[in-house]
Amino acid sequence: MDTRQVIDTSTGPVSLSAAFNNDSSCFAVGLDTGFCVFSADPCELKVSRDFNAGIGVAEMVGQSNYVALVGGGRRPKFPQNKLIIWDDARQRVVISLEFRTSVLRVRLSKSRIVVALHNSIHIFAFSTPPQKLSVFETADNPLGLACLGEKLMAFPGRSVGQVQLVELETGNVSIIPAHSSPLRAITLSPDGSVLATASETGTLLRIFATSNCAKMAELRRGVDHAEIFSLAISPSNTLLAVTSDKSTLHIFDLPHPRNSAHTNGQTSSYTPEEGANQKWGILSKLPLLPRLFSDMYSFANAPFEMGDDGPPGTVYVPQLGSSFARPSKGVIGWISENELLVISAGKCGRWERFVIRSGEDGKRYCIREGWKKYLGTG
């Protein structure tokens, strides 16, 4: 008989989800035991709450004491169809909203609460009690895609591949036919003037001006299929960062003629033709070649750490944080025009810092300057 004592292999809490606040100055982490909040740079723990039960979604309101929570993991703290607004200063629930289906994602501002369900978006005034302002039907939205800016909201339309843009003040709705396949990721620029989208195919990223819904550009991530994890536009709308299941962070110039790229304090004009030439040179100008030779590619890329969570083929549903879903990976937050962070949840939740720098050859490079396991020692 084997009488050896079983060794405890537990390594502490596991992060189920990770999300930046509006200005990427902090990020909230849903744990299988509660939630915590970190400052973004440097990566330092600010708040830790142990509920002895799982939180699958944790979203902050700026740097305030309010955190939106949804249960998750194997032992959820709250039902997954219930949204909780937690006041951490008073250590209690101040708002509770219940829905017929699971809450997939929450977006918050000082005035609004946006709740993404599988086939609808619900908008409430951030008040006590909360007042329902509107409801929008969407196509299947298993990732809970939704963006909330100061003046605009963006989320999937009622048809596959469409994006609905809503003016918060007037309620006016515009429809952008962004892709022919289901949406995988969307993001608004900090000032709300630019929308970036990606589909399930993951090869092309499309950029739109929100003022008239015109397509500004197509950017090519690659030629093979990829699951896009995150899109984020830099503070001055000049750069787009993208992560995918290829474990690669790509940095693109946004080819708007009024934009310029800022690197190390220098400004240089940019045109779409330059973006194409970065990849293929003279081939991009030859007629009758496949379009991939003339597409605009990223000017820099770098590997990021995905970790190993769940068996191959696990469906990527980061917001639910349930036992059958992989934790969120490759979430991007810009902290300045040339600096960005990538955070991932999982067994070894990780924070990574990247900087865009010019090399001696005049080209720009994306360099990882630091990393840390935010739930342990890095």
Q: What is the DSSP letter of 22?
A: T
Q: Cβ(299)–Cβ(275) under 8 Å?
A: yes
Report yes or no on 191 lying in a domain: yes
pTM as predicted: 0.86
pLDDT, tens only, 129-157: 999 999 999 999 999 999 999 999 999 99
At 57, phi and psi to the nearest 5?
Answer: -130, 130
Q: Is the pLDDT reported for residue 123 higher than 90?
A: yes
Q: Which of 103, 101, 66 is nearest to 83 (CA)?
A: 103
Rounded Cα distance between 362 and 378, Å, is 33
Report yes or no on 7 lying in a domain: no
For 37, the domain range is: 15-373
Longest CA span, the chain: 76
**Percentage of the chain exceeding pLDDT 90:** 76
Report yes or no on 36 lying in a domain: yes
Q: Is the pLDDT reported for residue 283 higher than 80?
A: no
Q: What is the full DSSP assignment across 135-167?
A: EEE-S--TT---EE-SSEEEEE-SSTTEEEEEE
Report yes or no on 280 lying in a domain: yes
Report yes or no on 56 lying in a domain: yes
Q: Which of 104, 60, 62 is nearest to 83 (CA)?
A: 104
CA 265, 270, 276 angle in degrees (round to 5)?
A: 130
At 254, phi and psi to the nearest 5?
Answer: -85, 115
Q: Which of 216, 258, 217, 203 is nearest to 236 (CA)?
A: 258
Report yes or no on 270 lying in a domain: yes
Number of domains in the chain: 1
H or E, element range at 250: strand 248-253
Confidence of residue 348 (pLDDT cuts 50, 70, 90): confident
Tally Cβ neighbours within 10 Å of residue 327: 27
What is the average per-residue pLDDT within 65-72? 96
Report yes or no on 6 lying in a domain: no
Report yes or no on 301 lying in a domain: yes
pLDDT at position 5: 42
Domain with residue 286: its CATH number is 2.130.10.10
pLDDT at position 327: 83
pLDDT at position 295: 76
CA-to-CA dists, residue 198 to 67, 229, 240, 348, angstroms: 28, 10, 12, 27
pLDDT at position 326: 67
